[in-house]
A and B are shown apart, each in its own frame.
Chain A
Amino acid sequence: MGFGIACTVIDIAFAKRWQMNEPVLSWLPVGMIILSTLILLISQSWRWSIVAFAIQYIAMFWMISWEWPLGLAAVKLVTGWMAGAVLGISQPGAALAETGFTRISGGGFKLITAALIWVLAFAVAPSLQDLFPAAHAYLLGAVILIGMGLLQLGMSHQPLRVVLGLFTTLSGFELLYAAVDRSVLVAGLISGVNLVLALVGAFLLVNPEPEETL
């Protein structure tokens, strides 16, 4: 969190100094999003996936802070990390093992499809500037999150992957929505949705045996 805040402060300072439209270091969070979503897609280890998930939310917080006050943007980071913590402590062990792919060919296939999403995102993001008043890097990050999340959802049958895919997709939409609306109520409700989604993910991972009914 400290790293994210430091980067944001540097970012805002540089942007003000040189009066640029695009925040300085704006490509760094996009890079973080590309890397974290790729790890989420390919990784077979839930630990790496949770780490990537946390990094994804740092990048998202960084970008939202360009549009929202720092305090309100921090809500996204806190919510995301709490969701990651809930999912992290609910691991039964082999929650990410896919049955349909071998490790190398499956990874290669996923890498190629991810590359297609990146190309698509680079092609689509500029045209979104007509609809959403935000920086190019910001929209690029949002489109990559939505695309990679949908890719994850389309390729996975495991509850953890599905829940992480939903979080990734929702993060992208949250970025888009943050560019047009600053409502505290919506921010709170979406945070509530994220936390309940994390709890549902935890339930799907550990689904307890029945208790005796009275």
Chain B
Amino acid sequence: MSTVVLWIFVPFGVSILLALFHRFTSFTRWAAAGVALALSVAAALVNFGGLILVGGRAYEISTSFSVLGRQLVLGSSDRFFLILVYGLGAFWFLGAPAAGTHRLFAPLGLSIISILVASLAVEPFLYAAPLVEIAVLVSIPMLVAVGKPAGQGVLRYLIFMTLGMPFMLLGGWALNAIELDPASESLLLEAMFLLGLGLAFWLAMFPFYTWVPLLTKESHPYIAGFLFSLLPTVVFFLMLNYLDTFAFLRNSATFFQGLRLAGTIMVATAGIWAAFQRDLTRLFGYIVIQETGYSLLAISLHSQTGLELFAAGLIPRLIALGLFALALSVMQRHNVSMNFEEEKLAFQQTPIATFASLVAIFSISGLPLLAGFPVRQPLLEELGADSVAAVTWALIGSAGLMYGGLRYMAALFRQAPKSIRSEEGFYQIGLLSAGIVILVIAGVFPSPIITIAMNILQAFANLF
């Protein structure tokens, strides 16, 4: 028995079985959620590299698996990542019945998670690029509405994510070449340029982020939310792996300056576009861009504190994105318009969903007493100590997003609601209410979530 078999091959095999039975949509959703939850709990309980007792017999859980002369390794340091990523899967699959997703969402979603786990397990991890690309390709069928042509957002997503793969592969080769010739300045610049470009494509960094609002507008918001919570998380882990492994990269001031510049531009531009946005689904896209920008800013601090702020921001960000995506899906299911000008009846029809979307927007923009604030405030403080220009633009970005949220609230209550007749189901109300409560509790009592999130950093022993 191996951790690789348990957390990569088993879920992948289950996803294939679920794909065969995709017509039984309800069954596949609950089964995928059950498997993801079981794997998340197992990751917390199982002793990696130790023995487990099954039916009176002891089995050794090895942490590596050999494929074509290379190793897939999932050790104790990956435990929290497994808990997070399969917990994330369970969280999204449990919400799928309320969101009314594509019938392929659960099977393909589970296979995407297992492929992305494989991308982080492969050693040397430079081979992760093709696996991430396969995960992206597998996601395409669930992004396209059944029986309809693919829109520009999906095609651009396919193009930009695919273009990232060769840059990451070539960047990985250049990094290996530097190990053999550490004095080569040109190789170092080449490696940073290639890796930077690859990461820019994969994380939808400036200027390669135009497809994000297009995709959130034309695809199912819940599926887009699933991808935007999972893919950047894994790519950030890959980036931290690169930094952890290659000393010259983590000691390079140029690399971190590049991250800061990209992060600042993303936070500022996304906030400014969000301030003038009239479509809630496109606003979701700008929120995703701004969140990625803030994560880049945290890492760009080039310090232990910056890394801790990145980790601390992970869980509130994922919960807020999940809540917003679910709220949008519930509104779409009840034919509520996503356009601000036509929102007059939104609050009457779906009061909990509209309220949840407001809470998610304000949490992400860093409003006090919500989950985003305890992380955003120290991040801006640290950033301000380093660069006044960067923190000014970041504040403009956050203010822009908050203004966008206020405009949405004004659109909702342009006319006083005469009577509220909620069309939301019990399950939808339950999930949305849970999300709102968690964001408020995490805002008032942030310590437990931040303490849990710090475990992520165990995998990166050499960083700072």
Interface residues of A (CB under 8 A from B): 130-131, 153, 157, 159, 162, 165-166, 169-170, 173-174, 176-177, 180-181, 183-186, 188-190, 192-193, 196-197, 199-200, 203-204, 207-214
Contacts and interface: CB of A to CB of B under 8 A. Distances in A.
B448 interface: no
A99 to B, nearest CB: 13
A200 B158 contact: yes
B57 interface: no
Nearest to A174: B166
Given A186-B169, A196-B138, A200-B140, A166 B150 contact: no
Contacts of B162: 166, 169-170, 197
Nearest to A156: B155
Contacts, number: 99
Contacts of B112: none
Contact of A177 (B146, B150, B170): B170
Contacts of B158: 162, 166, 200
Interface in B96-152: 103, 127, 130-131, 133-134, 137-138, 140-141, 144, 146-150, 152
Nearest to A153: B159
A203 B140 contact: yes
Interface stretch (B66-74, B327-335, B402-410): B66-74
Given A204-B140, A211-B23, A193 B165 contact: yes
A197 B137 contact: yes
Q: Is the interface of A mostly helix, strand, loop or mixed?
A: helix
A185 B131 CA distance: 11
B137 A193 contact: yes
Given A181-B173, A186-B169, A197-B162, A208 B147 contact: yes
B60 interface: no
A191 to B, nearest CB: 9
A196 B137 contact: yes
B345 interface: no
Q: Is the interface of B mostly helix, strand, loop or mixed?
A: helix
A213 B24 CA distance: 6
Nearest to A211: B23
Contacts of A162: 155, 158-159
Interface in B67-98: 67-70
Contacts of A157: 152, 155
15 contacts: A153-B159, A159-B155, A176-B170, A177-B169, A177-B170, A184-B68, A185-B69, A189-B127, A189-B131, A192-B130, A203-B140, A207-B149, A211-B103, A213-B23, A213-B25
Contacts of B134: 189, 192-193, 196
